[in-house]
Amino acid sequence: MDQAEKLSVTVTPQMAQMIRDKVESGQYASASEVIRAGLRALQSEEEERADRLAWLKAQIRASLENPGPGHSNEEVFAELRARLQAKAAGGFNEAPQSSMEQPGEEQSR
């Protein structure tokens, strides 16, 4: 590990209890480990967000460079019909995976 720097942080009572619970369960050896894991998760989330943003910017750039339609009207309406049928069959509780989405990515709905 790199040179450690000691910091003092203030957390809510609920966060403090969560930290204690993680340590007491044996999942982590100390409160510091819990905080470090949380910071690593935050860093990973920010990197993933940056990757998604870069992908989106590339898609926009490609779209602007090629103004032709990316999907035909028939494809778009077929996708909408499929989504509506899937939602109706599932009681409108789950969003089906779109064939127009980037593989491995879920769109925000």
Has residue 31 been placed in a domain?
yes
Give me the number of domains the chain comprises: 1
Q: How far apart are CA 109 and CA 106, in angstroms?
A: 9
Domain holding 48, by residue range, is 13-89
Q: Is residue 50 part of a domain?
A: yes
The pLDDT value recorded for residue 4 is 87
How confident is the prediction for the chain on average, in pLDDT?
A: 85
The whole-number average pLDDT for the span 65-82 is: 85
Residue 108 has pLDDT above 60, yes or no: no
Question: Span 13-23, mean pLDDT?
Answer: 98
Q: What pLDDT is recorded for position 52?
A: 96
Is position 94 within any domain? no
Distance CA 49, CA 77 (A): 30
Q: Whole-model pTM?
A: 0.56
> What is the pLDDT at residue 38?
97
Domain for residue 107, yes or no? no
What pLDDT is attached to residue 67? 72
Give the model's pLDDT for residue 95.
Answer: 54
Domain-embedded: residue 74: yes
Residue 36 lies in a domain: yes
What are the distances in angstroms from CA 109 to CA 54, 58, 95, 96, 97? 20, 21, 8, 11, 12
In a domain, 57, yes or no: yes
State the pLDDT confidence band at 101, using cuts at 50, 70 and 90: low
pLDDT in tens, 40-57: 999 999 999 999 999 999
